[in-house]
A and B are shown apart, each in its own frame.
Chain A
Amino acid sequence: MLRDLSSGVRQVVAAKSDENGDVPAGGAPSPSPGGTTPVIDNRPAEELGLRELLAEDFTTHDRGLLEPGFWAVAAHRVGRRAASVQLRPARLALEAAYKMAFTGIDWVWGINLPRSVELGRRVRLWHNGCMLLTARSIGNDVHIRHDTTFGPARGTDGTPATLPVIEDRADIGSGACVLGGVRVGHDAVVGANTVVLKNVPPHATVLGVPARMIPT
């Protein structure tokens, strides 16, 4: 169910951005000098080889080997694939390595990105510390900063329907909380320390506790 919903979102968003001719805000290839529209590869992460995917994530994180965000995303990518490894000893070793990496990254850098999250392409995690990113899905080219919380609202059980969906190219400021089964629309901006408890329309900018729309 999780996969179906999220991939549906991705297709809808991809279709919309094709109509509008939108160009992703971050991590996208720069327009070629010939003036032709750049073709953006938005295939789901699952369709790419792990090495190809990690190379892209590394580039997204400014090719910094000490970027905590890169390692958090890398652990997530490996964790997603660990379960589908056929050879049992290899799978168990990979699962153990993932568990260790996940805990280490959570403890040392404070980035908690569970592998249950449907993570898009070229997601950029800026800075580290106090990041709890239990979303249902995070789209392509989303930028997330430190101290951000995605999670279920109070009194809900944490099933996928109660978790937020972050659509493509959303920009999440530091300290922001997105809570409950809400949707942050594509190209939306969530300001620093904002608490989002309701849907944010595409291209909107929200700020405040609780979040209010501000004119752009």
Chain B
Amino acid sequence: MSHAAPFLEDLGSALPAGSENANPPGVGLGALLAEDFRTHGSDPLSPGFWALAIHRFGNWRMDVSHKLLRAPLSLLYRGAHRGAITLWGIDLPYNAKIGRRFHIAHHGAVFIGSRAIGDDVTIRHSVTIGLKRKSERLAPIIGNRIEIGPGACIVGDIQVGDDSVVGANTVLAQNVPPGSVVLGVPARFVAPEKEPGFAAAPSETAVPQKS
């Protein structure tokens, strides 16, 4: 794969410019948010849903072409984005392209600076997706139906193939073909039946009652 010019003066945001609405096409904001809400277990207290809603809103506002009309929306977006970072530790810039049914299963220390993320991707807390180093300005491209465990770092100019699994605390900095399961620092391929992966979205089970 080609690298962007690795010159130090090139340093800026490594993400797309964010000059247009990059929400998934063919679905309105309302329907998209309703779907995201269901993806997050229809829980109004889910920080993941709200962070994603702020992301969708940040993209949607780019459809408002008049600068003066967009300014208050941008102000609202920036405040909300900063709030999500401060309160929940979820940094999800609007110009990182994200597909449908993206699921942030738990919050805290989440940074998503990918070039693009497909549909039905699940991430958990402490997940970092971003640059490998300051001088290499290309972020990962994440495919469809990918599960990412807590604490995973996915960095650099790489592509993660569809239906892959990135295990907990894994540091992934290489291309991964579809259907892979990787685990370790640095990431190694594992047979799925040998290393059964990482946390699924937990739900609070019922409190055991005294009999």
Chain A residues near B (Cβ < 8 Å): 2-3, 46, 79-80, 83-84, 103, 107-108, 110, 112, 114-116, 118, 129-130, 132, 134, 147, 149, 151-160, 175, 177, 179-180, 193-195, 197, 208-210
Taking CB atoms, residues of chain B closer than 8 Å to A152 are: 199-200, 202
Q: A158-B200, A175-B169, A195-B169 are in contact. Are A149 and B151 (CB under 8 A)?
A: yes
Taking CB atoms, residues of chain B closer than 8 Å to A151 are: 199-200, 202
C-alpha spacing A3/B109, complex, angstroms: 33
B30 on the interface (CB 8 Å rule)? no
Taking CB atoms, residues of chain B closer than 8 Å to A107 are: 47, 87-88, 107
- Is the CB–CB distance between B89 and A155 below 8 Å? no
C-alpha spacing A78/B205, complex, angstroms: 17
Taking CB atoms, residues of chain B closer than 8 Å to A130 are: 89, 106, 108-109, 125-126, 150
Q: A151-B200, A158-B202 are in contact. Are A84 and B210 (CB under 8 A)?
A: yes
Taking CB atoms, residues of chain A closer than 8 Å to B87 are: 107-108
Majority secondary structure of chain A interface residues (helix, strand, loop or mixed): loop
Taking CB atoms, residues of chain B closer than 8 Å to A197 are: 195-197
In the complex, which range does the number of interface residues on chain B fall in?
35 or more
Q: Contacts A84-B209, A132-B150 given; 4 further ones with Cβ under 8 A?
A: A107-B88, A132-B106, A158-B200, A177-B198
C-alpha spacing A193/B183, complex, angstroms: 13
C-alpha spacing A107/B206, complex, angstroms: 21
Interface hits, B31-66 → A, CB 8 Å: 45, 47
Chain B residues near A (Cβ < 8 Å): 45, 47, 87-89, 106-109, 124-126, 147, 149-151, 165, 167-170, 183-185, 195-210
C-alpha spacing A129/B89, complex, angstroms: 9
Taking CB atoms, residues of chain A closer than 8 Å to B200 are: 151-158
- Is the CB–CB distance between A177 and B199 below 8 Å? yes
Closest Cβ–Cβ distance, residue A56 to chain B (whole Å)? 21
Q: A103-B45, A209-B185 are in contact. Are A154 and B108 (CB under 8 A)?
A: no
Most B CB contacts (10 A, CB to CB) among A3, A129, A179, A193 go to A179
B171's closest neighbor in chain A, by CB? A209
B209's closest neighbor in chain A, by CB? A83
Taking CB atoms, residues of chain A closer than 8 Å to B108 are: 110, 129-130
B47, B169, B201, B205: the one within 8 Å of A177 (CB): B169
Closest Cβ–Cβ distance, residue A118 to chain B (whole Å)? 8
C-alpha spacing A34/B98, complex, angstroms: 66
- Is the CB–CB distance between B198 and A154 below 8 Å? yes
- Is the CB–CB distance between A154 and B207 below 8 Å? no
- Is the CB–CB distance between A132 and B199 below 8 Å? yes
- Is the CB–CB distance between B202 and A132 below 8 Å? yes
C-alpha spacing A193/B149, complex, angstroms: 13
A3, A114, A153: the one within 8 Å of B198 (CB): A153
A/B interface sample: 19 pairs, CB < 8 A: A3-B208, A84-B210, A107-B87, A108-B87, A110-B108, A116-B205, A130-B109, A130-B126, A132-B125, A132-B202, A153-B200, A155-B197, A175-B169, A179-B196, A193-B151, A195-B169, A209-B170, A209-B185, A210-B183
Q: A110-B107, A116-B207, A129-B89 are in contact. Are A179 and B197 (CB under 8 A)?
A: yes
